């Protein structure tokens, strides 16, 4: 996993300090300022969900991106942490435990750590496909138990709690969403620093070695199984904290939080953002939450778009969003980034054609399959009203997709040349 914090060259100590820690100061300022800009209840709820998912996706990437362990069941630790946290909230509300609400996420983290220890002792004995299959089996096992052990999981209804009935901290009862936001943002910031610090430790470096070349790691005297096990436990701890934050935010935990869909969602967040960079899962969590919240309001086929974005990222940008950003960092440092803007602007035309065609095709098909029976064949897209029963919309959509693909293939080599010239032009000319 690549460090996205700029490495400070030796020189001015103040400048070195700013370069080393400036990104964290910026992140803290952004977290503090965002609620002042986006003040609506929906925006605060969305930002709370982003903070929770950032912690969860970074915890997941400790396995996938840092240690090379593909897990299909990491929602187990997120969900179990959330369920124990919501039970703890109910116990505290009954006056049986004098614990303030901000400490509750640690209860979830403890649950994630315990089950990470138990399940990790079994699953981390193997790596690769075997580990992935074991994680899938454990995930399905716990998900099925969530509907059987109704006393702990609450069945389909789940377990709810009331955070306002808990002990107040300095007069703050965490009733308004803005107070919950700052609580989640604080935990998110602390967890981000802690997980980043882990990547800088010898164990964190050894995780990269186990991911890249486990045979060599064993040759130099390290137990790859122990490295995977310790990382798995730590990852479960942070996933449990994310679950505890979710319990505080929603005041409800149910079977969905521990399901395979939740495990798949965090996998998509990490991969779309970029598993090879620390900030990748952060970007992925923000983007996926935005898509889940806003795209679902625009179309009923939002899950299809979600899947297509994932497929496109895997095929054309396996490094994720962070990988694309880091690809252009050398150009920024060389001062040649603007040289590729014209080539990218031209490529934008076939890209928009392809996207418009794909959207038209999906929405027309969705209308035909889902809405025609109740709303009739007439529909409106991009401000244009048309009949989905006619052939013309399908021809136009396919023509846009085909035209975008052809023009993209024709212009692709020119764009690659523009990037190469911007990246290596000076060396090539010497």
**pLDDT, position 52:** 95
Is residue 430 a part of any domain in this protein?
no
User: Contact at 8 Å (CB) between 267 and 78?
Assistant: no
pLDDT at 372: 81
Residue range of the domain that includes 395: 335-424
**354 and 390, same domain (yes or no):** yes
pLDDT at 11 over 70: no
For position 172, what pLDDT does the model report?
A: 76
pLDDT exceeds 60 at position 3: no
Q: For residues 145 and 244, state if they share a domain.
A: yes
Q: What crossing angle do the helices spanning 202-212 and 224-250 adopt, rounded to 10°?
A: 110
Quick check: is 260 in a domain?
yes
**Residue located via tokens 């130099």:** 220
SS3 letters for 72-101?
CCCHHHHHHHHHHHHHHHHHHHCCCCCCCH
How many Å apart are CA 72 and CA 271, to the nearest integer? 13
Query: Residues 282, 245: one domain?
Result: yes
Per-residue pLDDT reduced to its tens digit, 189-200: 999 999 999 999
Average pLDDT over every residue of 308-320: 86
Please state, rounded to an integer, the average pLDDT across all residues of the chain. Answer: 87
pLDDT band at 55 (very low <50, low <70, confident <90, very high): very high
Say if 69 falls within a structural domain: yes
Overall number of domains in the chain = 2
pLDDT for position 105: 93
Same domain, 67 and 215: yes
Same domain, 282 and 382: no
- Same-domain pairing of 365 and 235: no
Is residue 408 assigned to a domain?
yes
Instruction: Pick the closest to residue 180 from 109, 283, 258, 251 (CA basis).
Output: 251
Which of 182-191, 232-241, 318-327 has the lowest average pLDDT?
318-327
| Residue 2 clears pLDDT 80, i.e. is over it | no
Domain check: are 304 and 391 in the same one?
A: no
pLDDT band at 1 (very low <50, low <70, confident <90, very high): low
Share of the chain above pLDDT 70, in %: 96
- 106 and 97 Cβ atoms separated by less than 8 Å: no
354-381 pLDDT, tens digit per residue, is 999 999 999 999 888 888 888 888 888 8
Shared domain for 269 and 383, answered yes or no, is no
């Amino acid at each position: 996993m690549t460090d996205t914090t700029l490495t400070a060259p030796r020189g001015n100590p103040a400048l070195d300090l700013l370069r080393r820690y400036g990104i964290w100061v910026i992140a803290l300022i952004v977290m503090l300022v965002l609620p002042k800009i986006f003040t609506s209840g929906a925006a605060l709820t969305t930002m709370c969900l982003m903070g929770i998912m950032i912690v969860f996706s970074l915890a997941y990437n400790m396995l996938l991106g840092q240690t090379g362990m593909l897990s299909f069941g990491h929602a187990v630790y997120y969900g179990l942490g959330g369920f124990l946290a919501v039970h703890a909230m109910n116990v505290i509300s009954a006056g049986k435990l004098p614990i303030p609400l901000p400490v509750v996420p640690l209860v979830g983290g403890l649950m994630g750590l315990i089950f990470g220890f138990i399940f990790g002792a079994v699953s981390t004995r193997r790596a690769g496909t075997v580990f992935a299959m074991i994680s899938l089996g454990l995930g399905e096992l716990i998900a099925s138990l969530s509907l059987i052990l109704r006393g702990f999981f609450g069945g389909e209804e789940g377990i709810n709690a009331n955070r306002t009935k808990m002990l107040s901290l300095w007069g703050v009862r965490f009733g308004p969403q803005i107070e919950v936001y700052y609580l989640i943002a604080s935990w998110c910031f602390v967890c981000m620093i802690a997980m980043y610090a882990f990547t800088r430790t010898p164990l964190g470096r050894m995780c990269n070695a186990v991911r890249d070349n486990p045979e060599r790691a064993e040759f130099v005297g390290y137990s790859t199984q122990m490295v995977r096990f310790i990382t798995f436990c730590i990852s479960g701890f942070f996933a449990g904290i994310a679950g505890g934050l979710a319990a505080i935010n929603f005041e409800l935990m149910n079977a969905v939080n521990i399901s395979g869909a939740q495990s798949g969602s965090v996998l998509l967040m990490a991969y779309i953002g970029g598993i090879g960079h620390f900030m990748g899962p952060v970007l992925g969590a923000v983007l996926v939450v935005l898509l889940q919240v806003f795209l679902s309001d625009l179309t009923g086929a939002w899950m299809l778009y979600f899947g297509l974005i994932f497929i496109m990222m895997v095929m054309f940008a396996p490094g994720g969003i962070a990988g694309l950003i880091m690809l252009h960092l050398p150009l920024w440092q060389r001062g040649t980034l603007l040289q590729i803007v014209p080539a990218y602007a031209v490529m934008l035309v076939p890209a928009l054609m392809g996207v418009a065609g794909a959207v038209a095709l999906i929405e027309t098909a969705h209308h035909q399959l889902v809405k025609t029976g109740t709303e009739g064949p007439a529909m409106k897209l991009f401000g244009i009203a048309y009949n989905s029963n006619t052939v013309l919309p399908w021809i136009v959509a396919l023509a846009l997709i085909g035209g975008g693909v052809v023009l993209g293939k024709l212009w692709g080599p020119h764009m690659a040349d523009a990037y190469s010239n911007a990246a290596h032009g000076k060396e090539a000319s010497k």
